[in-house]
Structure 1
Amino acid sequence: MANIKSQKKRILTNAKSHERNKSVRAEMRTRVKSALEQADPTSDATRAAIARIDKAASKGVIHKNTAARKKSRLMKQLQSAES
């Protein structure tokens, strides 16, 4: 355990943000999984998954390039599953 007061505070704030980020990331994965189960690029589940990916990127949970890559791969999988 840290002796410095600012480091103790930092440990607490890191734990809070870790929990918040974990829930955002879990929600994002769940939406992507449900979009893949429906296998339709125009479905509401796909729109929800893309919105969650964008929201995670805007909150700083994932990098914007990671979000773009995830959306691209999701659409690619949905297009191949459709045909």
Structure 2
Amino acid sequence: MSDEQTPEERRALFRVVKGDPSPEELAALTVVLAAAASGGGEPAPKPRTLWGHPSAAMRRPLEVGPGAWRAAALPR
């Protein structure tokens, strides 16, 4: 057996060195290897939380008028 490869063998993504897989098995293996090589893209960005933002430590202005006591306790 010669060690020289054909152009198709040099271009192939993988090579079966043992066994005799069916065309369906080769197709399934090709799909799995292609999916693993693609990496799945970049992950979705995480939503920003503002619990540690410096503005959270600032006091809100005081509300005046009817119902002001209720507005002081309810979130905006």
TM-score over 0.5 (shorter chain): no
Q: TM-score, normalised by structure 1?
A: 0.29
Q: TM-score, normalised by structure 2?
A: 0.31
Q: Which has the higher contact order (CA 8 A, sep 6+)?
A: 1
If each structure's helix is expressed as a fraction of its own residues, which one has the higher value?
1
Pair member with larger Rg: 2
